[in-house]
Amino acid sequence: MAGDILAVQHLLQPAREHPVTVAEFAGLARSIAEDRAGWEHLVRYDATTRWYHRLRTGPGYEVWLLSWVPGQGSGLHDHGGSSGILTVLDGELTEHTPRGRLSHRAGSQRVFAPGYAHEVVNDTLDGAVSLHVYFPGLTEMPMHSCSPAREDHVPA
């Protein structure tokens, strides 16, 4: 077929009300990240415990907003049967995995599959904010006892 495919309206899929693919979930996270006025006023920093706020839910997914004070971390964990997308909104976070360390700055995204084990830590001297999309919605977050840096660690 020759010509501009966008000019053939009957071939275009209608926009979905809720995301269903990884790319659509990543797009949802990016659109929320770009709407700073929609989340910035909700952020709280708590030095005694990790702060989090469920920002949105939809059929088969949920979106969480988290803040991180310097030195705060998640502990080594996975997300059970949920896949996820981590998007850093402000600051910088370090992700420790069995394969090494990854640094994530504001604007970066990380997609992970069910059972993926990692530890997220704010190793900087400034606060950080992240957005987490889980699909299906998060029902468990098993903690792991060994360090992700150990070579003999195998994620559950």
- CATH number reported for the structural domain that contains residue 28 in this entry: 2.60.120.10
Q: What is the pLDDT of residue 156?
A: 28
Gap between the terminal Cα atoms of the chain:
48
Q: Tell whether the model's pLDDT for residue 7 goes beyond 70.
A: no
**Closest to 133 measured CA to CA, from 14, 35, 22:** 22
Residue 25 confidence (pLDDT) above 50: yes
Split into its structural domains, the chain has a count of 1
Query: Does residue 7 form part of some domain?
Result: no
| Average pLDDT of the residues in 146-152 | 49
Has residue 109 been placed in a domain? yes
Domain that residue 58 falls in: 17-135
3-state SS, residue 81: coil
Instruction: Assign 5 to helix, strand or coil.
Output: helix
- Report if residue 112 sits inside a domain: yes
Instruction: Tell how far CA 145 is from the center of its chain.
Output: 22
Is 6 inside a domain boundary? no
Q: Look at residue 150 in the predicted model and tell me its pLDDT.
A: 40
Q: How confident is the model at residue 153 (pLDDT cuts 50, 70, 90)?
A: very low
Average pLDDT value over all residues in the chain: 88
Q: In the prediction, which pLDDT does 99 show?
A: 87
Q: What is the pLDDT of residue 48?
A: 93
pLDDT band for position 87 (cuts 50, 70, 90) = very high
Confirm whether 101 is domain-assigned. Answer: yes
Cα–Cα distance measured from residue 88 to residue 105, given in angstroms and rounded to the nearest whole number: 6
Q: Is the pTM of this model over 0.85?
A: no
